[in-house]
Amino acid sequence: MFLKKRPKNEERLDRVARLYLAYKFFGALYFSYPIFYEFASQTITPIQVGLFFSVIGICGFFAEIPTGIIADKRSRKFSGLFGISMLVIAPLVIYFGHTFSAYLIAAVFYGLGRAFLNGALDSLVYDHKNVDKLAYRKVNAHEITFGQAGILVGAACGGLLFSVSHSAPFIADAVTGVICFILIACMQEQHKVDYVKAKTSHSRHFLQSIKYLVATPYLRRIVLVGVIFSVMLGMCIQFVNEAAMIEQGFKPTARGFLISGAGIVTLIILNLFLLKMLRSDKARIIYLGCGAAAAYLSMSSGLMPLFLFGYLLWCCLNATSSFIRVMLQDRIPSSHRSTILSSFKSLAVLIGLGASTGTGLLVQWAHTPRAAYIVFAGITTIIILPCVFWLVHHLHQQTN
């Protein structure tokens, strides 16, 4: 099936799309995900865990814009290869160092690696000469499925690997990074006929990208919602969810199976309902805003059934967070695409710099991760929901 002969005009698109989707699967295999907080807390404090993620944010923040410019002006494929190389090294530094200094060194690699990858491969596929907007949305829908499949496989195996050997999840993370490097190396970077190569200076290119990012009221609100939404998702991915599971009494293996089980249910919900129902931007915006409020309120209750319900809803939101990226992609010029996406990520990183440490302090002060969920629910209600109502009204006026 993979090698099935296709017409020439479709063959190259199929190859790029398949390689990209395979990268999304292997790139989501974070075997250390369900055990990271427990492993790290053996040596460092919750505040230091927060500082670790803050360093990732600082490095990513300073690297995002330069790496986006490099991707636009030089090569998006080169940017992806360089970024994944750094992500191969990071988990090995954490395990073999296992000191706060080692965590800080690994944080530098994580920050730089993610910065080089952010927006590069998305832009490569979106601007491929055989990919139009409709085709990219289909790729994005498959990307969600492949990414979730990778998360659940990694989570299910991560807890088991940790039970066998504490080094296994980190070594497995490095191996999957090597596989991703090979997949990216096989991608072909070929632009559309109307693609215009960036020719201005680095500084002018950056300023133009910022202008494009906030060119309209619609884009400004999408950026605001997307930035806050991604920061809160990031805080939960990094350690709040795991801390909540530990508080609920889940052991490493149980946490791995809980994450993978939620991933399986999420895949079923996505493919049977959500991806079929959420086809319009209006529906997607309502779903993201109202879903976030419901998820964080449920997880803040401390009750096991509500926590599990909120966690499942959160998994669906996390899986479909790329909806915001697609909304941005459709409204920005290809010549500045990687830099614009990097600028968008930089805004999220800038807010996340203090959020990581602040979340760690909050969890340590309150002695419960539920405090973080309460704060996230308040932010969603006060900031995100009003923007959601404005965006829906704006889209409704455009369609009438």
Per-residue pLDDT tens digits for 22-33: 999 999 888 887
* pLDDT score, position 14: 60
216 band by pLDDT with thresholds 50, 70 and 90: confident
The C-alpha atoms of residue 17 and residue 128 are separated, in whole angstroms, by 10
Between the two ends of the chain, the Cα-to-Cα distance in Å is: 44
Instruction: With a cut of 90, say whether residue 313 has pLDDT above it.
Output: yes
Per-residue pLDDT tens digits for 41-56: 888 887 888 788 888 8
Instruction: With a cut of 90, say whether residue 113 has pLDDT above it.
Output: yes
* pLDDT score, position 176: 94
CA distances from 217 to 121, 214, 222, 223, 225 (A): 27, 7, 9, 10, 12
Q: Which CATH class is domain 15-188+212-399?
A: mainly alpha
CA distances from 213 to 144, 232, 385 (A): 24, 21, 21
Question: What's the 3-state SS for 232-252?
Answer: HHHHHHHHHHHHHHHHCCCCH
The C-alpha atoms of residue 324 and residue 345 are separated, in whole angstroms, by 12
DSSP-assigned beta bridge partners for residue 191:
128
Per-residue pLDDT tens digits for 148-173: 788 778 877 887 888 888 788 889 99
**Mean pLDDT across 231-253:** 81
Report the mean per-residue pLDDT for the chain: 85
DSSP 195: -
Instruction: With a cut of 50, say whether residue 10 has pLDDT above it.
Output: no
CB-count burial class (<10 Å; 0-12, 13-18, 19+) for 163: middle
Contact 380, 289 (CB under 8 A): yes
74: phi then psi, degrees, rounded to nearest 5: -110, -75
The structure tokens 């149980």 sit at 254
* pLDDT score, position 181: 95
- Residues with Cβ within 8 Å of 337's Cβ and at least 6 positions away in sequence, in order, are 72, 119, 123, 126, 127, 329
179 band by pLDDT with thresholds 50, 70 and 90: very high
Residue 272: both structure tokens together: 């049977």
**Mean pLDDT across 236-255:** 80
238 band by pLDDT with thresholds 50, 70 and 90: low
Contact 120, 80 (CB under 8 A): yes
Per-residue pLDDT tens digits for 337-375: 899 988 888 888 778 777 777 887 888 888 888 888 999
**Mean pLDDT across 315-335:** 87
Instruction: With a cut of 80, say whether residue 37 has pLDDT above it.
Output: no
13 band by pLDDT with thresholds 50, 70 and 90: low
* pLDDT score, position 348: 81
| Residue % of the chain over a pLDDT of 70 | 96
Which is nearest to 262 in space by CA: 34, 27, 53, 38?
34
2 band by pLDDT with thresholds 50, 70 and 90: very low
The larger pLDDT score, comparing residue 39 to residue 83, is at: 83
298 band by pLDDT with thresholds 50, 70 and 90: very high
| Residue % of the chain over a pLDDT of 90 | 27
DSSP per-residue codes, 329-383: HTTS-GGGHHHHHHHHHHHHHHHHHHHHHHHHHHHHHHTSTHHHHHHHHHHIIII
Burial letters 99-135, b for 16+ CB under 10 A, else e: ebebbbbbbbbbbbbbbbbbbbbbbbbbbbebbeeeb
* pLDDT score, position 246: 85
Contact 325, 206 (CB under 8 A): no
* pLDDT score, position 116: 93
* pLDDT score, position 9: 43
The larger pLDDT score, comparing residue 330 to residue 89, is at: 89
